[in-house]
Amino acid sequence: MKNKKISGAEAVIHCLLNEGVDLVWGYPGGAIMPVYDEFYKFQDKLKHVLARHEQGAIHAAQGYARSSGRVGVAIATSGPGATNLVTGIADAQIDSTPVVCITGQVPSHLLGSDAFQETDIIGISMPVTKWNYQITKASEIPEIFAKAFYIAKSGRPGPVLIDITKDAQFELFEYDYKKCNGIRSYIPYPEVNDDSIDHAVKLINQAKKPLIVWGQGVILGNAEEEFKNFVEKSGIPAAWTILGLSALPTSHELNVGMVGMHGNYGPNILTNKCDLLIAVGMRFDDRVTGDPSKYASQAKVIHLEIDPAEVDKNIKVDVPVIGNCKESLQMITNKIDKRSHKKWISKFDDLMKIEFDKVIKSDLSPNKKGLTMGESIIAINEFTNGDAIIVTDVGQHQMVACRYANFIKSKSNITSGGLGTMGFALPAAMGAKMGALEREVVAVIGDGGYQMTIQELGTIFQLQIPVKIVILNNDFLGMVRQWQQLFFDKRYASTEMINPDFVTIAKGYYIDSERVKNRKDLKPAVERMIKSKKPYVLEVCVEKEDNVFPMIPSGASVSDIRLD
C-alpha cells in the first residue's frame, strides 16, 4: 500500500482491516458518506450492520465487545448522528468497554461556522471518552486510528472517538499503517510492586473473617482462572458486583452472591463484620457501598486495581495493589497459605436461609396469583443450563436477573452498570450475539426500557440475528414505582404505562412472538423460544406491583439492608 495514493475514506477501511475489525455498526449520512462508499466497495472483507438509530449502533458495539472481548466499532455522521452516540459512549466509559467510534464532520473550512449538521462532538464527548481526536488531514488517519485502537483496548479499556472532516475523507495521500504498541507518558499496565504483594499476603494469612468482592476487572483482565485459583487456595468467600457476575460460576461453593443495593443479604451484612476486605477489579461504586463512612470501617482493605485513579477515591485502602489483576492475583496466590474458613462461611449460609425464607421463597412461589420475574428467570435457567449470555436492561428485571440467573462461563452477564442506561439491552443483545455466534443470547428487558430502542427489531429482522427477547411486562416503570411506594407514600407519578401490543409489533417485523399470562404456559413458551433457530420475542405478563428485595435504601449503610 505504501507509495500508492488513496483517499482518506479508503484509508479508514484499511485501518479497520489492519486492526482485525470484521464488523462495524452504524448509520450513514452526508458527512460520512465517502467512508460509506468505501464500505460498499469492501463489503466482502468488512461487514457493516445498519442499525435503526445511532444509539442502537453504539450499544450493539458495546454488546459485541463485551461478549467477544474485542474492540467494538460504531460509525455515524455529523451533528445528530454523532450526538446520538453520546449516551452509549458515556455508558462504555463508566463500564470500561473498549469501543472506537468514528464520526463524520463538516469540511474543515466550515468548522465553527454552525454549518448544516455541525456539532462540536470533540468538546461534547471529551468528558466521556478515554481519548478523542479530530482529523482534518488525510495523512493523520493511520496514526490516529492505530492510537485509537491501542488506547481503547489497553489497560483499563474504554471508548475512543475519532471525528473526521469530510474534506479529509476525500483527500489523497500515501497510506502506510503501523500498529501502535506504546504512547509516551501513557502506562496502561503499571508494574506490580513486590512490597504491596507481600503486605497483602501477610494480611490474608492472618485474617480470621476475610471477604473478597470482585468486579468486572477480573473479566477485562482475562484473569478468571487466576481468580478462581486465588479463591480456592485462600478458601475465602467471594461476592460480586453486577459487572463481575459470571467471572466465577454461580454454583461455585465459595461464591456467596451479589453485593450492593439489591444484593444478597449475607455478603452485604457481613461486609461490616469481616476483618479483611479484598477488592479485586472493582471501584467501590456507591451502589455497592451505600454510605461510605459506614462501609467496612472495621476491616483492613486490600484493593487490586489497574487504574490508580480508583484507589482511595471512594474507600480508604490499607494495601493498594496496582496492576493487572491477572498478574497480581497469581503473585499473591503463589505466596499465601492454603486455608479454609468453614465457620466464617457458615455465617453466609445462615443469612442465606433467612433471605430464602423472607424473599426468595416469595419470589419463586407457585402460589402467587400472578407470574413473578424471578420464576421467569428460573425458567430460562432450566432451558439454557446456565450456558447462555443474558443481556439485561435497567430496572427491577435487571436486579432479578442478576440475582437468579445461573452462569457457568465468563462474559455471560452483559448489562449497563454504572450509567444505568434504559434501552441498552435490545441493541446490546444483537451485538452480543454477533460477537459470540456459537452461544445462546437472551435479552431480558422491562416494558419501559424495551420501548426506548424497540426500533432495533428492524435490524434483528433484516439480518435474522437469532437473539431471544424476553419482555417482563408489569405495565410500570417498575423500579421507580418501587421507590415511590417505599419512599414517596405511593404517589405513582408518571410511572404507570399503557403499553402497546408487543406481540403484534414483533409480528410486524416478521419475528416469531407470543405472550404468556398463566404459570402453566411459562415453561413451554420458554422452551419453544430457546429451541427456535430464529429471533424470538416472548412477552411475560408479571405481577404489576412486585418489589425487588433485599434493598439498601439510598445513602444508608449496607448493614441497613431491608428484606421487605
Active site residues: 54, 116-117, 166, 479
**SS3 assignment for 257-286:** EECCCCCCHHHHHHHCCCCEEEEECCCCCH
Greatest Cα-to-Cα distance within the chain, rounded to the nearest angstrom: 75
- CB–CB of 117/103 below 8 Å? no
What is the distance between the alpha carbons of residues 398 and 316, in angstroms, rounded to a whole number? 30
In the chain, count of helices (H) and strands (E)? 24, 20
- Helices 519-531, 373-384: crossing angle, 10 deg rounding: 40
Locate 140 and state its grid cell: 493523520
What is the distance between the alpha carbons of residues 329 and 321, in angstroms, rounded to a whole number? 10
- Pairing between strand 72-76 and 23-26? parallel
CB atoms within 10 A of CB 227: 28
CA distances (Å), 358 to each of 73, 286, 363, 443, 549, in order? Answer: 45, 25, 9, 28, 9
**Exposure string (b/e) for 54-73, b if CB count within 10 Å is 16 or more?**
bbbbbbbbbbbbbbbbbbbb
- Pairing between strand 5-7 and 172-174? antiparallel
Where in 89-169 does DSSP place strands (E)?
99-105, 131-135, 159-165
**SS3 assignment for 369-411:** CCECHHHHHHHHHHHHCCCCEEEECCCHHHHHHHHHCCCCCCC
Instruction: Say how far residue 186 (Cα) sits from the centre of its chain.
Output: 25
**489-498 long-range Cβ contacts below 8 angstroms, 24+ apart:** 497/447, 497/448
What is the distance between the alpha carbons of residues 405 and 550, in angstroms, rounded to a whole number? 16
What is the distance between the alpha carbons of residues 564 and 550, in angstroms, rounded to a whole number? 7
Three-class secondary structure of residue 131 per DSSP: strand
Three-class secondary structure of residue 317 per DSSP: coil
Nearest to 261 by CA among 240, 237, 286: 286
Read off the DSSP letter of residue 157: -
Read off the DSSP letter of residue 356: I
- CB–CB of 412/246 below 8 Å? yes
